[in-house]
Structure formats: structure tokens, C-alpha cells
Amino acid sequence: MGILEGLNPERNIEPCKVGRIVLNLETTDADILTEAIENPKWTARALSKALTERGVAISRDTLDTHMRKACRCSKTL
């Protein structure tokens, strides 16, 4: 085995806006938001509206991207 086998760059992917919001919420609120994001009964539009009404401004498109796991939070190599 060569000394360079397994050499890979460190991955330091900063989370998307939704991920950053979740990380900055209190634990209980972060759990509630995470459950809502994973709940198929919530649409991105409805969740965006509910969050905005509670003072957490986040767009429908940003939520939709995160909910579809198409954002930076889901990137792995």
C-alpha cells in the first residue's frame, strides 16, 4: 500500500440557509422544524408561510430545494 492511498480533500460544506436556521434554533424548535421538513404533509409553500408568520423568513424555493435534498446539506462524496 502506497503512502498516498486514500488521500482525499477534507469536505467542509457549509449548510444551506435552511440548515443554518436549524443549527441556530433552540433544540426543541430545531426538532420541530426538522420533523416538519421531513413530513410529506407539509408543502414548501405552506411551511414557508407558517415560518414567516412566526418570524423565520425563508422562501418557498429555498425550503423546496432543501426538502428535495437538492441543497448543499445533502452533498456527500
- Specify if 60 maps to a domain: yes
Q: What is the mean pLDDT of residues 1-24?
A: 85
The reply to whether 61 falls in a domain is yes
Residues above pLDDT 70, as percent of the chain: 94
Mean pLDDT of 26-30: 96
Residue 57 lies in a domain: yes
Say if 3 falls within a structural domain: no
Note whether residue 67 is domain-resident. yes
In a domain, 9, yes or no: no
The number of distinct structural domains making up the chain is: 1
User: Would you state the torsion angle of the CA atoms of residues 29, 58, 41, 30, taken in this order, to the nearest 10 degrees?
Assistant: -20
On whether residue 5 sits in a domain, the answer given is no
Q: What pLDDT was estimated at residue 76?
A: 52
Which is higher by pLDDT, 8 or 77? 8
Report which of residues 24 and 6 the model is more confident about.
24
Whether 47 is in a domain gets the answer yes
In sequence order, what are the residues at sequence separation of 6 or more whose Cβ sits closer than 8 angstroms to the Cβ of residue 30?
22, 23
pLDDT band of 77, cuts 50, 70, 90: very low
Domain extent, residue 56, equals 17-74
